[in-house]
Structure formats: C-alpha cells, structure tokens
Amino acid sequence: MIEELSQRLLDRSNPVRVHMIGVAGSGMSGLALLLIEMGHRVSGSDRVTSGETERLQGVGLQFSSPHSAEAVVGADVVVYSSAIKKESVARVAAEEQGIPTMRRAECLAAILHTKKGVVISGTHGKTTTSAMCAHVLRKGGKPASHYVGAEIPVLGANARWEEESEYMVAEGDESDGTLALYRPSHSIVLNIEAEHLDFYKGLDEIKVVFRTLLSQTSRRVIYCGEDETARELCGERDDSISYGWSDADFVASNLSEGRGVVSFDVLKKGEFLGRVELGIPGRHNVLNALAAIALADDLGVDFNLVARSMGSFAGAKRRFETRYLSSRFRIIDDYGHHPTEIAATLQTARSLNPGRIIVLFQPHRFSRTQRLAEEFGESLQGADAVYVTDVYPASEAPIEGVSGETIVDAVKRNGDTNCYSVPNLVSAHHVVGNAVEPGDLILTLGAGNVHEAGKKLAADLRILEELRLGLGGEDVETKLYEPMRRHTTMLVGGPAQYWVEPHTATAFAKAVNFFKERGIPVRVVGRGSNLLVRDGGIRGAVIHPAKGEFGDVSVDGNLVTAGAGVRFKKVASAAQAAGVGGFEWMEGIPGNVGGGLRMNAGAMGTETFDQVVSVTFLDEDGELRTRMREEIESFYRNVPELRRNYALKVVFRGKAASAEEIGAEMDASKAKRRSSQPIAASAGCIFKNPEGIGAGQLVDELGLKGSGVGKAGVSAEHGNFIVNRGKATAKDVQGLIEEIQKKALEERGVTLETEVQILGEDEVVF
C-alpha cells in the first residue's frame, strides 16, 4: 500500500484525493500541507477547528467538523491519526465503502519514498534536530522538503514541500514500531532508550525496530557516539558517521555557554573545521547540532554556510521556548517528558544563571510515571522547587495508585528539592505564580497541555511588570494570585489575580488608572472583616492600601486622622492615649477604616459616619478629592458614594474625656464582644437586621445555632455569625447562608439580606 501510494503521488497529472481523520493535530496537519503542496486534493475532519485547520483551509484544505461518514465519500485513500479509534464513524464509513485506509506514519513513508529521505530517530531530540537539519540545508544552498513534529518559526511551518529538491528531512516516530516503514537515504540516530514500554516489551524489541531502519538505509547512518545503544547498533557499520564529545568522527570541544547561546569548536576526524555559535542554549543541543553538521558535510554543504545557519537557528515551539522575559523573570516552556530530557533541560536552564529554577511538571502517561518514577525523582533534583500536576493520560486508562503524587514522593526520596502536588492544572499556575520571586526562571515541563499554564502565567506577569514600570519608582508591592484566605477574617477565598499594595496615595491613583485603562476590574480590600471571597478568586486587580501613609494615624486636639488601612482598634487606642473619647465603640470592630467607611460600620449604637469630619478619596475620574461630612450621604450599612470611589483617608471628631471614662467604655466594649461574639474565624455579622427583629435572634429562634454545611457553621455564641470550623471553603459558607435564608423565608416570611460583601468567581476563570 505504501509503495502504491508513493507511485501515485508522483503522478501530478492525476491528483490523489486524500481524506485525513484528525487533521487538526500537528503531525496530521503537516502531512496535509505536504500533500496540498504536492498538488493533490486533500480534505480533513476533526472534533474542533484550530489555527492549523484555518491556515490549511487558506491553501486548499476542505475541512469539516465533526467527523462524519459523508466526509470520506469520493476519497482515494483515508489517513487517520493514532488518536482515531477503529470505531470512528469516518473510519467505519471508509471500510464500508472499500476505501483504503492507512496510519499517519504509512502516509509519511509514502511521501518520503518519493525523494531521498533523511530520517531523524531517537527517544528524544528528534524535533529540534530535524528542524536544524532542514534549516542548515536550506541556508546551505540545498533546500530540502521537511516534516517536523512541531511548529518551527525559523522554517515557517512544520512541513514544506520543495518540488525541485532531491532530499526530504523527516522526524521518525519510534513509539509504535512504524520507524521500520522507512527506506531512507540517510538515518540519524540520536539515542535509543527503554521507552514506550506500553508498546514494546523491552529494549531488545526497540533495538529490532532500529536495526530494521538501519538495514533499509541506503547511503549513510549518522549516530551519537555518546549513546551506548546507538553506538552498539551503528558503530560497526561501514557507512556510519559518529559524533560526540570525543573519540568520534565529528567532535565538539571548547564549549562556552552564556546569554541563551552556546558556542563550540568543530573537529572532523581531528581536523579543525571552525567555530559555531548556536542560537539556542544547552549542551544537549550541541550534540543535536553535530548531527546536522555531519549530515550537511556528507551532502557537500560548505562549513562556513553551516556555521552561519547555526547562529540563526531559533528552535522549535515547546523546545526550551522562552514565553516571557523581563529584567526580573523568565518563563520557558519545554516538551521534555522523559527523565533524560528533563535532566538536559534543567542543565540548560541552569546555564542561564537564574536566581532559582521553579518547575511546573506535568507527568505524561500513567505507565511512564509508574515505571520511571525514581528516574524522574532524580532528574528533577536539578530544580530549586518543583510543582507536579496530575498525570496527562494521553489516551491511557488510569493505573491505581499512580498520580502526580507518585512523582512528588520520588522527588522527596531522591534529594532535598522542595516538591509540591498541584493536581489541577487549571489552577496550578496560581500556586506557582504566587511563589515566584524576582530572578526566578519558571519552567513548564511536559508533553501534555502544561504549556497552557505557562501562557496564563506569562500574560499576568507581563501586566504586573508593566504596572511597576508605569508607577515610575512609586513605593508599591505586587504579587500574582495572592490567596484571599490570607486577607479575610473568615480565612476562606480563592486568589486575587493581581494583588497590589501601594504605600502612597499617588501610587494608589496610578495603579487604579493603570488597570482601568486596560479594562481590568479593580477592587479595594482592607482587612477583609466583612468580606466573603468565592473559591474561584477575584478576577482583576485587588488593591490593598494598608502600609505606608495608609497605615498612619495622628491626633490633633479632638480630631483623629487615619489612613484607609488603619484598623479601627488602632484608632481607638490612639484616641485613648491622647485623651480623646467617643472612639471606644471601634475597639470591637475587627475591620479597618477604609472598609468601615464604605459600609458605615457600627457598634454599641454608633456608626462610622456619626464621627466623620471629612473623607479624602480617589474619584471615578482618577482625581484625589476631599469632601466634608455634610456632602456625603450615608445610610445603615451603605454609603453610595464610596461604592463608586475609593476612600484613602478620613478625619474623625472625638470629644474630650477623662482616662477613667474612656477606660470604662473600652472595658464595656470588650466585655460585650467577648460575651456575644465567637472567637473562631468569621466575617462578622452575616445578615442585615430585618425590620422588627435582630438577625441573630431570628437565626436563634429558627433553631439554627450550631448547624453547618461542610466546615462552615453557625456560631453557638451569636446566630448572626458564621464561623470557619477549620479549612472551610467559600462554597460551604455560601451553602449555609442559602440554607438560613431559605428557612427564614419559608418559616417566618422574612427575606434576609447579606451584610457581608460577597465577591469573586465560583470557579477558576483566570
């Protein structure tokens, strides 16, 4: 079938009609592009559209989604990817209609046999080396067709057909034995390890496949002399060329690494050819480059052109690809999913001299995780901290007892590297992003979809770095994904996407304007005493004015001036020390001035705005303004103007009082709080008092004291308090709130409104 199709593909006067099932994948899309550029008629189907399918439609692909029986009608041959099951509606239809079907690798073999093939094989490094070979030949005046397993920016696409070229460079996949299908002119063997044991019984079976490939290679075998098995299989062949660090036909010496590149001398059988500066870092990539250099030399490409092309090589997508770079952080993504690859990648990362290397690793396949756990544990010791997601199954069924925790345990057994489990990839970047420090290199590792976490992290880190530059040296602290449970008295809540702590009013104003200009929501949060943040966290910016001038309090006569971040307890204490009365009620308020102003907090018959003289705030237009008390409307637990504007500073009026009077009032406030409020973590009063009855009394009369949902419970001391009994979630608290509201309405006809402010998302959206 392969040879028959190969002959048909050579006949341009009679185009072959090919349908490709699973065409959106990188391997299948590359084949589709080759066939289209060869002049054949190509259709394809997949579950979803993608950037690749849209690009291919622009050059002639007839695309349909989802898979269907109709799509294969009229096809001369149907090609399917390894992800397509036998019972797929399109495969079944092809068989019923008598249309020949073939695997992706068989189609590639048919295309490859129309030219002199160069097959790059090995357990790892194939994509980078294939791309290097194609790039070097193109720049050296011998442009070759190519088929590579990833997007290659320097090549323009993962596949390209060069009609006039003799050669075609292709990445050969050994994972399922299809490597034996190829009959190339040149074979490059990078390494051979006991991998893909879900298909093979062991290394001996893998050797059989490689021996078959080598026996079918017509001109030259190029192999890495540093790999024991490659040396065993290739070393005795008369047509072989070796490369390595020593005792090889092509040798690299005098290596120098720095600034993301590596340079080295190249010797051919002891003769100095010249020096090469490779445009990507890593000692393992020097070996990959030697393979490409040996190929180019065998095909007669001038070494000066080879050296020049190596300097312009920029690597493949997801192969040590820099996703973000600033003066303070670097994020790199790499496809490495085997211990050998990971060790090489970490060695390369260390050559960049980062402060720390932080790894987010997604294990690939349950079988590989189980079999190579100890090797993963050893290779990941090259990082300073490792975060491990759950396993990316890649169509495998789970294996009992095997998960991301398997890797975490192995890392801990094999060294001192800090390692943590972050099972859910959707939120894993929150944990990693919150832990990073200036100077860190963050590395996302794995063959699954872990790169999505790096993409999110890079986008959000870029925003905070732009903010810091925009503030122009203003005193501010910033962090990504700060857990709001650290900043609420209830001790629950997901992360704040952007956490900002300005120390001055100017920095506050600049930060608010920065986010608003970009359409990013802004929330201002104080101590979080009247706040419930949902488990999905707060999308956008959370500004926390607590330090610097926001934490200042001063007394002048009977006037007390306090920043928005000052706790009410501190205001009461400062007033007492200065002999100013009227603030004793604040001693029992758990929040701070900014939040108290916003909701007109109160206790012991007094409300915040009873004592306000003036408020300085940032208005909706980004201007700092000060308004007197009589200009501001205030109601029970509601100040409309401060729902739109941000309070920064307030002047309160007190009254002269003796130390004894103040002390007595303070003691009364403390006694009342101790007797009526719970000690456990809470958000203060949950409900506003309905008309005619206190909310706490109503909850008590409904018999709900002590009831709970999950780890959230109604306080035994006060019915209007919900307490965290230990590791409660916001969902627990919300569930309990809803139960209380439902019972109050059904049994008493009372609609309970929440006094606590509820913010954020139920699920992760950023």
β pairing state of 240-244 and 250-258: parallel
Nearest C-alpha neighbor of 89 from the set 74, 64, 66, 69: 69
pLDDT score recorded for residue 36: 93
pLDDT digits (tens, 9 = 90+) for 357-381: 999 999 999 999 999 999 999 999 9
Query: With respect to CATH, is domain 115-311 assigned 3.40.50.300?
Result: no
- How confident is residue 307, by pLDDT bands cut at 50, 70 and 90? very high
The mean of the pLDDT values for the chain is 91
Predicted confidence at residue 395, as pLDDT, reads: 77
For residue 222, what pLDDT band results from cuts at 50, 70 and 90? very high
pLDDT at position 690 is: 93
pLDDT band at 135 (very low <50, low <70, confident <90, very high): very high
| Residue range 586-632, pLDDT digits in tens | 987 878 898 889 888 888 788 999 999 999 998 877 788 899 999 99
For the stretch 418-467, pLDDT in tens is 999 999 999 999 999 999 999 999 999 998 999 999 999 999 999 999 99
Architecture of domain 681-759: Alpha-Beta Complex (3.90)
Give ranges for CATH 3.40.50.720 in the chain.
2-104
Question: Are 18 and 41 contacting, i.e. CB atoms less than 8 angstroms apart?
Answer: yes
pLDDT given at position 224 = 96
Does residue 316 register a pLDDT over 70?
A: no
Contacts (Cβ under 8 Å, ≥6 apart) of 282: 262, 320, 344, 345, 347, 348, 351
- Would residue 439 be called left, alpha or beta, if left means φ above 0 and alpha means ψ between -120 and 50 degrees? left
Tell the CATH topology of 552-667: 3.30.465
Q: What is the pLDDT of residue 6?
A: 84
Give CA–CA dist 342/558, Å, rounded.
67
- All CATH 3.90.190.20 domain ranges of the chain, comma separated, are 322-449
DSSP string, 411-440: HHHH-S-EEEE---HHHHHHHHHHH--TTE
Q: Are 280 and 332 in contact (CB under 8 A)?
A: no
Q: Give domain 322-449's CATH superfamily.
A: Mur ligase, C-terminal domain (3.90.190.20)
- In angstroms, the CA 186 to CA 164 distance is 19
pLDDT band at 27 (very low <50, low <70, confident <90, very high): confident
Q: Could you tell me where in the chain the CATH 3.40.1190.10 domains are found?
A: 115-311
Look up residue 659 and give its two tokens: 């130390």
Band (pLDDT 50/70/90 cuts) for residue 676 is: low
- Is pLDDT at 259 greater than 80 in this prediction? no
Nearest residue to 173 via CA among 156, 190, 155: 190
Split at pLDDT 50, 70, 90, the class of 710 is very high
- Please check whether residue 145 is in contact with residue 162, taking contact to mean a CB–CB distance below 8 angstroms: yes
- Given a cut of 80, is residue 152 above it in pLDDT? no
Q: State residue 451's pLDDT score.
A: 94
Note the CATH architecture for domain 2-104: 3-Layer(aba) Sandwich (3.40)
Share of the chain above pLDDT 70, in %: 99
**Domain(s) of CATH 3.90.78.10: residues in the chain:** 681-759
Q: Report residue 696: phi and psi, to 5°.
A: -60, -40
Q: Exposure pattern of 729-746 as b/e (b: 16+ CB <10 Å)? A: bbbbbbebbeebbebbee
- Cα–Cα distance list, 614 to 560, 629, 631 (Å): 11, 5, 9
One-letter amino acid for residue 391 of the chain: V
What is the average per-residue pLDDT within 727-756? 95
Nearest to 579 by CA among 656, 661, 665: 656
- State the pLDDT confidence band at 537, using cuts at 50, 70 and 90: very high
What confidence score (pLDDT) does residue 747 get? 94
What pLDDT score was predicted for residue 481? 97
Instruction: Say if residues 267 and 253 touch (Cβ distance below 8 Å).
Output: yes
